[in-house]
Structures are given as C-alpha cells and as structure tokens.
Amino acid sequence: MKVETVTSAQNPKIKELLSLREKSSLRREKSLFIVEGRREVEHALQAGFKARTLFFCPEAGGDSSGLEADLFVQVSPAAYARIALREGTEGLIAVCRGSAPSLQDLNLGENPLVMVLEGIEKPGNMGAVLRSADAAGADAVIICDPLTDIFNPNLIRSSLGAVFTVPVACAGSEEAAAWLKARGIRILTAQLQDSELYYDTPMTGGTAIVVGSEALGLTETWRKAADAHIRIPMLGEMDSLNASVSAAILLFEAVRQRNA
C-alpha cells in the first residue's frame, strides 16, 4: 500500500480535490468525483467505482483499513479541515474514477419499479429521492435533464451514498420516455391537471413514476408519454409538496400494492 503524507493545505493534491469539489466541469473532464465518509466510500467501492486517491486523517478518526485505492494520503488535521465538506465524516475522503451512467448501463428485471426525475435542481432533493428509492427497493432511478450532476458532493452527501446503491442513469426526457415505452413500462406522471388519485392507480406491473421540479413541474414530453396522470390529494392551502416528499409517497404506494 502506497502512502504519502500531506501536512499543508497548499499541497497540489489538496488543491485538486478542492477544485473537483467546486467545479462540475472539471469532474466531467477528468471523470473524477469526491466521496466523503466511510459509509459512502464503501458504497462507491462496492458499486464498482475505483478510488484513485484516499485521503485519511487519523486525528479525525480516519481509518483506511479494508479499503482499496491507488494511493493513500495521510493528511494533517489542518489539511483535513480544509477539504472536509461536513463534520462527522470519519476523517475519510476519496477521489474516485467514474462518469455519469447512461440508460444502456441499466439492466432491469421483470415488473421493474423505476423512479424518474426531470429538471430537479437542488442536490438535497435529488439525494433524498435516491434514499427513498433505495428504501423502497426501486430497480432504477433515471435522472432527466438534470440541473446538477449526480456526482455533486452535496448530492452524494444528502443521499448517504444511495447514489451508489441504486442503479442510476442520466438521459434526456425524450430518450428516457422512448426507452421506457420500448420496454413496456407504464409511465405515471405526477401532476395536478387531468389526474387521478395515486392510490387508485395500479402500480404492480412495470412502472415508472415521473416527478418534476416544484417550480416548473413536468414538460409536455412526459405529459404526452404518460399512460396515466396521478396526484397526491392536497387538503390544505398549498397545491404541491416538495419533490422528494412526493417521490417517497408514490414509491411506497407501489411497495404497498406489490406487497398487498
């Protein structure tokens, strides 16, 4: 195991990590992304991603035992404080190789349950949906026309690593809709107009649940492709829920129906 020691926050490896954290263009260009925290790193490695560099700080609880990487870098507390995105990350940060997966990377079984997100901007929302998809045992999450990349460190953090435990693909909306249609997967769009209550809609067969952004909703691509429009009843003054809350409700309705 090759180990280097870094004590200065001005070290080139530290500077590169900070640039990767801040610049999605650099992540795409180099096909590199950052994973922070022992659990999240383990999920990434188990999903088949390779760690190019593993930074660990023993004083912050960093323990690299049992993990694989091309290079291990032991950093000082001062250097780790510079690169840590949040507290409580067990003194461990990995720079991993990987690029955004495509639809061709998905391998669905019989009667799959697929979560589709269109135009979601906030990493926290997307991360929360991925956690719900993992909890519901969804077969895949398709992210359409995203306004943030799936390797955004805040998304990985908010998903608690679920971005690595659920098969994920990125695609344009038209491509994704056609891909689902070609596989006989029923498309259900969450929308207020011309819709029926979600619990009156069958979800036991191959099902794709499509949720859009709170600000813009879904595009016409999905409204036209839909086999059914579904809605969650709103009994108060508000006319919509947070996208991640809506996604969780709809996913677990599918779980309920499939286990009834």
In order of start, what are the domains of the chain with their CATH numbers? 3-97 (3.30.1330.30), 103-258 (3.40.1280.10)
Q: For the whole model, what pTM was predicted?
A: 0.91
Return the pLDDT at 110: 93
Q: How far is CA 131 from the centre of its chain?
A: 8
C-alpha dist (Å) from residue 57 to 77, 82, 104, 230: 6, 12, 38, 49
Return the pLDDT at 88: 60
pLDDT in tens, the chain (260 residues): 678 898 888 899 999 999 999 999 999 999 999 999 999 999 999 999 999 999 999 998 898 999 999 999 999 998 998 888 876 668 999 999 998 889 999 999 999 999 999 988 889 999 999 999 999 999 999 999 877 789 999 999 999 999 999 999 999 999 999 999 999 999 999 998 888 999 999 999 999 999 998 777 899 999 999 999 999 998 998 877 899 999 999 999 999 999 98
C-alpha dist (Å) from residue 91 to 12, 50, 168, 182, 221: 19, 19, 27, 46, 45
Going edge to edge, which strands form the sheet with 32-36? 3-6, 71-75, 50-56, 92-97, 32-36
Asked if 174 and 118 count as a contact pair (C-beta separation under 8 A), the reply is no
Tokens of 194: 């011309």
Return the pLDDT at 85: 82
Length of the chain: 260
Going edge to edge, which strands form the sheet with 113-118? 168-171, 140-144, 113-118, 207-212, 186-190, 228-231, 196-197
Return the pLDDT at 257: 97
**3-class secondary structure, 193:** coil
